[in-house]
Amino acid sequence: DADVTQTPRNRITKTGKRIMLECSQTKGHDRMYWYRQDPGLGLRLIYYSFDVKDINKGEISDGYSVSRQAQAKFSLSLESAIPNQTALYFCATSGVDKRTDTQYFGPGTRLTVL
Amino acid sequence: DAKTTQPPSMDCAEGRAANLPCNHSTISGNEYVYWYRQIHSQGPQYIIHGLKNNETNEMASLIITEDRKSSTLILPHATLRDTAVYYCIVRVGDTGNQFYFGTGTSLTVIP
């Protein structure tokens, strides 16, 4: 079984709809992240969380919100989806091991906003 | 985090060693070299990381020059499934900050 799972894997929605993307992990990590990737571009950080009570904005948080329901679960919401939020979304987790915090990524969610 | 420079693309014959270079001439003493790869639209996959010494795991070897200004990722026996974009990232360890993925090297393994 995969250590980091994302649901749904694909989603098509319409402008103005509320969408939630979910991420679960079995790695026992405290830190979780949401990134988006656009064609030809690198990954950009949306939000990150170091533990259940900690939420931090990343590089591109406008239009998004998150919820850390438990150590193992981190959800990303688009309150009112718009077409330029069409992208690949990746969840990642990390723990601290030997002074580094290598991040491990989920399989991604392909979101299309029409 | 230090900037990295990688060739945009490389080819490698199946079964041969793939050597992927990365320049990071402005690396600081507390920055690690990480390698990830991304197979078409899948989640980035961690490969290996190191600080000063060469490292080896079941996937690859990482060779870091003595001055730490460049490194090479070695896939000892490339297979078709190793075709992917490979990212070299230099980053301070344990910051909790994001990993900055640039454009990477697109490796094509040829039968």
Q: Give the Å distances, CA to CA, from A27 to A105, B12, B18, B35, B78.
A: 11, 34, 30, 20, 29
Place of tokens 């995969």: A2
- The SS3 assignment for B88 reads strand
Instruction: Give percent of chain B above pLDDT 70.
Output: 94
Decide if B36 contacts B89 (C-beta within 8 A): yes
Cross-chain Cβ contact A31/B34 below 8 Å: no
**Residues B33-52: what's their mean pLDDT?**
93
Strand partners, A87: A111
DSSP readout, A42-64? -EEEEEEESSTT--EE-TT-TT-
pLDDT of residue A100: 67
- How distant is the Cα of B62 from the closest Cα of chain A, in angstroms? 16
**pLDDT one-digit tens code per residue, B58-68:** 999 999 999 99
Specify the pairing of strand B9-13 against strand B105-110: parallel
Least confident of A17-26, A75-84, A94-103: A94-103
Decide if A82 contacts A113 (C-beta within 8 A): yes
Selecting from A42, A58, A104 the residue whose C-beta is nearest the C-beta of B46 gives A104
Q: Is the CB of residue B46 less than 8 Å away from at least one CB of chain A?
A: yes
Query: Which residues fall within 8 angstroms of residue A62, CB to CB, at 6 or more apart?
Result: none
pLDDT of residue A82: 96
For residue A12, what are its two tokens? 């098509």
**pLDDT one-digit tens code per residue, A53-82:** 899 999 899 999 999 999 999 999 999 999
Q: If pLDDT is split at 50, 70 and 90, which confidence band does B21 have?
A: very high
For residue A101, what are its two tokens? 């915090």
Selecting from A44, A101, A110 the residue whose C-beta is nearest the C-beta of B96 gives A101
- How distant is the Cα of A105 from the closest Cα of chain B, in angstroms? 6
**Residues B39-54: what's their mean pLDDT?**
92
**pLDDT one-digit tens code per residue, B99-110:** 788 889 999 999
Does position B95 have pLDDT exceeding 80, yes or no?
Answer: no
**Residues B33-54: what's their mean pLDDT?**
93
pLDDT of residue B12: 96
Return the number of CB contacts < 8 Å for A and B: 52
